[in-house]
């Protein structure tokens, strides 16, 4: 951890109590923040130099019944990547939007809403972005059975068995 | 007699230009170190297009194609090809230019009638580029007419043959300008922005299918014959016989193909800017030289 | 199998086989195999096969790779804009049986349920040699009058439309960029 990052992180630690910056790799850190503080935390990070929001993504922790939203931020002065993780209840996934901080977040939030069903309060436009005519549960959730859906909607081809056996190991 | 001559000229124009275009594809392929299609490939393309089904987009669409086709055929009849002259004495350059405009306008009308925005963009670009190359070309033509006090194509050819001095040697700057304008007329690179297949889906031709496309490919080959024929007659002295004319035609076409196969593409405003800069200056210089030397 | 062709059909098929203009729908990795096939090394143009920018003028439609439900709508649109006779070539295992995306919720498995395919090129992806061989085969089929996918599509239109509706819900394109 070089001095520049240390300085920023210490300043942030002074504002937000009980947070821990984990060292993943060289110039790569992660931090976990409760969802109530997420927006003010990201706002502070932006003012402290992490001005570039590269990506917002989501992970479905089905055993813990939680969604994890990951904001990937980048600092152009120190070349540091910081992953801000926040967790939200799987049954009632509602988060405040970060569109006021980064307007480009609109499309990432649309995408997450479409594929995980996480609602972002304050985002005016949560229409589907990629899927068309989707009636099932959001497809990136772990309890969605992709193979079953594919089998129901898109019929497959049946091959003659002797063609497949030729040249395979079971042919001996 | 003139009917037979006219039919002969049309058949000659069609087969010669389409063959040359096939050879041009071969030349381009060889420049790119490919084997290239056979030289009769363009005939197959045209006749195949005529066997396909086609779709119409309304009366204007159909009528414009016929207008372009008819206008271009009418223009071909006024181009003297060596000793094959259909209307001796009537083949004034202005007749050719006005009749050619009918074909182009028919094309423009029909493309816009298809309602496809790509066709509209393509036509807009084609007409803008026309504005670019017509101006220097016309100024050079004025120089030529002033020199001989005559604007009949076959008379100009005869004068050049009798004096033994082609206009390309008498006014080299003018010939260069006319050749650059010719590249724009033919839609060869670097002036092919109105076709631009990757950008606007072949521009004006975007909605034509099957038989319409076949007709327009034939029309295009006639247009190539007119434009290069005009250049050969005006600046290279046509020919005493038809063979001499065809050889000169081939030389000009070959040069245009070589240039077009190694050039990237101008944007439309770059093309117009280019035409209104060097070709225009050179054409003015040429015309002033002609006028001053004629005055002495 | 070979039907009796009239003299006119024979000539027409001979011309159609020797001049193929292709429209490529490059959704998948097949897009990367086409440039070497078209350029100096394998030079597709020597068979009279060339790229064409617009569906109205194209003869063959190349589906190079997997098709998601969203792109299938556009493919059906494009196919119906093309003028008969028209042929479809399916590239790679994705169009045959779904390929590595066989269990994906978004990609279809079997292309010829939705549009008639005249020729499949197996492989993941097929090499340019395989593509050239496949095109030679397609040219033979057209010459003999066996490549009749466009006729099958006209005759079994209801069946194809039903399959399309089953997989897509609706074939009409709703798009925020076209509203």
Domains in chain C, number: 1
**C175 found inside a domain:** no
**Taking 50 as the threshold, does the pLDDT of residue A172 lie above it?**
no
Every domain of chain A and the residues it spans: 3-153
Report CB contact under 8 Å: C48, B44: yes
**C20 found inside a domain:** yes
Mean pLDDT of A105-117: 89
**Taking 50 as the threshold, does the pLDDT of residue A147 lie above it?**
yes
Decide which of B192 and B31 is more confident. B31
Mean pLDDT of A104-132: 86
The per-residue pLDDT for range B256-283, each reduced to its tens digit, is 999 988 888 888 888 888 888 888 898 8
**Taking 70 as the threshold, does the pLDDT of residue C177 lie above it?**
no
**C132 found inside a domain:** yes
Q: CATH code at C26?
A: 3.40.50.12280
Q: Alpha-carbon distance C110 to B216, whole Å? A: 39
| CB-CB neighbors (< 8 A) of A147 in chain C | 103
Report CB contact under 8 Å: C69, A132: yes
Closest Cα in chain C to B36: C46
Instruction: Give the best residue of C103, C104, C117, C122 to mutate against chain A (max A CB count within 10 A).
Output: C103
Mean pLDDT of A100-113: 89
The per-residue pLDDT for range A76-88, each reduced to its tens digit, is 888 889 899 998 8
Report CB contact under 8 Å: B52, C85: yes
**C152 found inside a domain:** yes
CB B12 within 8 A of CB B222: no
SS (H, E, C) chain C: CCCCCCHHHHHHHHHHHHCEEEEEECCCHHHHCHHHHHCCCCCHHHHCEEECCCCCCCCEEEEECCCEHHHHHHHHHHHHHCCCCCEEEEEHHHHHHCHHHCCCCCECCCHHHCCCCCEEECCCCCCHHHHHHHHHHHHHHHHHCCCCHHHHHHHCHHHHHHHHHHHHCCCCCCCCCCC
**Taking 70 as the threshold, does the pLDDT of residue B177 lie above it?**
yes
Q: Could you list the residue range(s) of the whole structural domain that residue C133 is in?
A: 7-168
Q: Alpha-carbon distance C99 to A166, whole Å? A: 19
Enclosing H/E stretch for A145: none
| Cα A135 from chain centroid (whole Å) | 22
Q: Please provide the CATH number assigned to the domain covering A3-153.
A: 3.30.460.80
**Taking 70 as the threshold, does the pLDDT of residue C175 lie above it?**
no
**Taking an 8 Å Cβ-Cβ cutoff, which residues of chain C contact chain A?**
69-70, 73, 96-98, 102-110, 113, 166-170, 174, 176
Residue-level pLDDT at B19: 92
- Answer whether 0.95 is exceeded by the pTM: no
* pLDDT tier for residue B291 given thresholds of 50, 70 and 90: confident
**C179 found inside a domain:** no
The per-residue pLDDT for range B7-57, each reduced to its tens digit, is 888 888 899 999 998 998 898 888 888 888 888 888 998 998 888 888 888
Report CB contact under 8 Å: C110, A157: yes
**C178 found inside a domain:** no
The per-residue pLDDT for range C19-75, each reduced to its tens digit, is 888 888 887 787 888 888 888 888 888 888 888 888 888 889 988 888 888 888 888
DSSP character at residue B195: T
């Amino acid at each position: 951890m070089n001095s520049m990052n240390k300085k920023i992180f210490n300043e942030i630690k002074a504002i937000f109590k009980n947070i821990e910056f984990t060292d993943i790799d060289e110039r790569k850190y992660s931090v976990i923040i409760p969802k109530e503080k997420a927006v003010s935390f990201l706002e502070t990070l932006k003012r402290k130099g992490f001005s570039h929001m590269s990506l917002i993504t989501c992970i479905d922790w089905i055993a813990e019944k939680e969604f994890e939203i990951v904001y990937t931020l980048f600092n152009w002065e120190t070349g540091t990547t910081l992953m801000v993780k926040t967790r939200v209840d799987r049954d009632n996934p509602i988060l405040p939007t970060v569109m006021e901080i980064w307007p480009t977040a609109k499309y990432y939030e649309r995408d997450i809403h479409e594929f995980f069903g996480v609602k972002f309060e304050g985002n005016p436009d949560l229409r589907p972005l990629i899927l068309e005519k989707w009636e099932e549960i959001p497809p990136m959730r772990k309890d969605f059975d992709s193979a079953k859906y594919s089998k129901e909607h898109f019929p497959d081809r049946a091959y003659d068995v002797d063609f497949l056996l030729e040249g395979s190991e079971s042919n001996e | 007699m003139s009917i037979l001559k006219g039919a002969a000229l049309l058949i000659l124009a069609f087969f010669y230009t389409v063959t040359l275009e096939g050879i041009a594809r071969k030349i381009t392929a060889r420049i790119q170190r490919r084997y290239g299609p056979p030289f009769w490939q363009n005939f197959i393309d045209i006749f195949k297009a005529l066997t396909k089904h086609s779709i119409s987009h309304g009366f204007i669409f159909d009528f414009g194609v016929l207008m372009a086709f008819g206008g271009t055929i009418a223009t071909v009849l006024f181009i003297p090809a060596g000793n094959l002259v259909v209307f001796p004495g009537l083949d004034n350059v202005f007749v050719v230019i006005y009749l050619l405009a009918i074909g182009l306008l028919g094309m423009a009308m029909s493309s816009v009638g298809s309602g496809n925005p790509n066709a509209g963009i393509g036509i807009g670009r084609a007409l803008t580029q026309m504005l670019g190359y017509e101006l220097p070309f016309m100024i050079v033509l004025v120089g030529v007419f002033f020199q001989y006090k005559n604007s009949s194509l076959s008379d100009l050819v005869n004068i050049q043959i009798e004096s033994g001095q082609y206009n390309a040697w008498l006014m080299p700057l003018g010939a260069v300008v006319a050749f650059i304008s010719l590249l724009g007329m033919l839609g060869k690179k670097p002036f092919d922005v109105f076709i631009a297949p990757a950008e606007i889906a072949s521009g004006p031709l975007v909605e034509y299918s099957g038989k319409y496309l076949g007709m327009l490919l034939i029309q295009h080959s006639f247009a190539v014959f007119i434009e290069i024929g005009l250049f050969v007659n005006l600046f290279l002295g046509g020919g005493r016989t038809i063979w001499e004319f065809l050889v000169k035609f081939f030389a000009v076409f070959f040069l245009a193909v070589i240039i077009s196969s190694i050039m990237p593409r101008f944007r439309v405003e770059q093309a117009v800017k280019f035409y209104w800069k060097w070709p225009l200056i050179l054409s003015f210089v040429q015309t002033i030289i002609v006028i001053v030397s004629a005055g002495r | 199998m070979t039907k009796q062709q009239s003299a006119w059909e024979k000539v027409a098929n001979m011309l159609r086989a020797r001049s193929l203009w292709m429209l490529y729908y490059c959704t998948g990795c097949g897009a990367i195999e086409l440039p070497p096939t078209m350029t100096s090394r394998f030079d597709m143009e020597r068979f009279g096969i060339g790229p064409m920018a617009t569906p109205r003028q194209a003869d063959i439609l190349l589906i190079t790779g997997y098709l998601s439900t969203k792109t299938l709508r556009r493919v059906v649109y494009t196919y119906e804009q093309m003028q008969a006779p028209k042929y479809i070539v399916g590239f790679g295992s994705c169009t045959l049986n779904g390929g590595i995306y066989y269990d994906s919720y978004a990609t279809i498995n079997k292309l010829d349920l939705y549009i008639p395919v005249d020729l499949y090129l197996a492989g993941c992806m097929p090499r340019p040699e395989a593509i050239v061989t496949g095109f030679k085969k397609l040219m033979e089929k057209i010459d003999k009058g066996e490549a009749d996918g466009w006729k099958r599509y006209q005759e079994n239109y209801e069946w194809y439309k039903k399959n399309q509706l089953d997989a897509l819900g609706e074939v009409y394109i709703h798009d925020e960029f076209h509203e």
